Amino acid sequence: MKLTLKYAGFALLVLLGIIIAFAPVDKMADRNTVSAETLIEELHNKQVYIQPDQLAHWIINDDPGYQILDIRNTEDYSQYHIPGNVHLPFEKLAKEKLEGLLNPYKITVLASNGNSKAAQAWVLLRQMGFENVYILRGGVNYWVDVFNSPQKPDATAANDEIFRYQFRKSAGDVMMGKQVVEQPQEKAEVEAPEPIKRIRRPQKKSFDEGC
């Protein structure tokens, strides 16, 4: 066999392969690659919060692309929780448990009592590799405020605000888990049924990558 360029190339390939077989590739690949600075910057600059109204729209529309993770303790959870969610107390947030519970392709909305616990959980989840994680603004407390007793805007308020109030009022019963009873006299008060707008998801645009 003559030593041609071809066989020299094969030899080089095999040599590169032998080096890589003994090199710690896995160790280098498994590093925690989301740095703390990036995460803090994202928390401050990027929109990681979701408004209750938007989440309510998703629930009403039966949007298949989201999941709610409730991180309050079991006592609070059994008292009230947002319809259709996954529960795991903050203390038990571990990668192994979350991987069974959450679908990594969906948007995860974190619900806590306020913002701070949820922000901590947000950092944890991002470091575990979940990418589309958002925080429910104000947590479950604010959610209950919004839908249990929405504040009536002034008569001079902008249309947007009146619409929002009507939406909150009409969605409230379902969100709070009350039995919805037909109340014909109340119907007169509602001027026009609010058209349900598809709200654009704040999901990062993911390209359909690949061939």
Partner 1 sequence: MAPFYKFGFFGEQTSFILALLIGISFGFWLERAGFGNSRKLALQFYFQDMTVLKVMFTAIVTAMIGLMYLTLFGWIDISKVFINPTFLYAQAVGGIVLGIGFAIGGYCPGTAVVGASTGRIDAYLFILGALFGMVVFGETFPLFENFFYAGEMGQVRLTDIINLSTGLIGLLIILMAVGMFLGGEWLEKKFRKEPAV
Q: Residues interacting with partner 1, by CB under 8 A?
A: 10, 13-14, 16-18, 20-26, 28-29, 31, 33, 129, 205, 209-211
Closest approach, Cβ 22 to partner 1, in A, equals 7
By C-beta, is 38 or 78 nearer to partner 1? 38
- C-alpha to C-alpha distances, 188 to 150, 154, 168, 173, 191, nearest whole angstrom: 19, 19, 17, 18, 7
Q: How far is the CB of 39 from partner 1 (least distance, A)?
A: 13
For residue 174, which of 205, 193, 209, 147 has the smallest C-alpha distance?
Answer: 147
CB-wise, 25 or 196, nearer to partner 1? Answer: 25
Helix (H, G, I), strand (E, B) or coil at 126: helix
Dist CA 151 CA 168 (whole Å): 9
Residue closer to partner 1 by CB (options 22, 155) is 22
**Residues 6 or more apart from 122 whose CB is under 8 A from it?**
43, 48, 110, 133, 134, 135
Q: How far is the CB of 195 from partner 1 (least distance, A)?
A: 29
- Residue 79: what residue type? Q
Least distance CB 94 / partner 1 (angstroms): 19
User: Least CB distance from residue 90 to partner 1, whole Å?
Assistant: 25
Cβ contact 132:96 at 8 Å: no
| Alpha-carbon separation of residue 73 from 2, 82, 87, 90, 139 (angstroms) | 74, 14, 9, 7, 13
In the bound state with partner 1, the residue whose beta carbon lies nearer, of 123 and 144, is 123
Query: For residues 101 and 196, which CB has a smaller minimum distance to partner 1 in the complex?
Result: 101
